[in-house]
Amino acid sequence: AQSVTQPDIHITVSEGASLELRCNYSYGATPYLFWYVQSPGQGLQLLLKYFSGDTLVQGIKGFEAEFKRSQSSFNLRKPSVHWSDAAEYFCAGAYSGAGSYQLTFGKGTKLSVIP
């Protein structure tokens, strides 16, 4: 069955440091992949998406993600973290074999930022 795995439940970084959040997928074919961010008490906001083409995807708020087929990964990166980036981050995938491309979410990675 298709799945999305986020190996890290909680990550703490210092403000100004670089960030990488991991995401691995398990699908029979190339999925469509997404990263969402959720601030406390809020809904989810789309950071970026990968459908096809260039494997390095740029998103909002200075985030980028790289699709690596050989590693079944879609890791999210940011070169310099700001305190306002503290939130929970969700990787999600959609698969063409799942009917109407419904999203499957990972369990999330909570990011804490130290001043």
**Minimum gap (Å) between residue 75 Cβ and another protein:** 17
**Minimum gap (Å) between residue 28 Cβ and another protein:** 18
Q: Which residue type is seen at 89?
A: Y
| 82 in Cβ contact with 17 (< 8 Å) | no
d(Cα 26, Cα 102) in Å, to the nearest integer? Answer: 15
Residues 91-110 that bind another protein (CB under 8 A): 92, 94, 99-108
Residues 9-48 that bind another protein (CB under 8 A): 9, 32, 34, 42-46
**Minimum gap (Å) between residue 88 Cβ and another protein:** 9
DSSP reduced 3-state for 39: coil
77: contact with another protein by CB under 8 A: no
**Minimum gap (Å) between residue 101 Cβ and another protein:** 5
| 52 in Cβ contact with 67 (< 8 Å) | no
d(Cα 26, Cα 24) in Å, to the nearest integer? Answer: 7
15 or 32: CB nearest another protein: 32
How many CA atoms lie less than 13 Å away from 105 in the CB half-sphere? 12
Binding site for another protein (CB under 8 A): 6, 9, 32, 34, 42-46, 49, 51, 90, 92, 94, 99-108
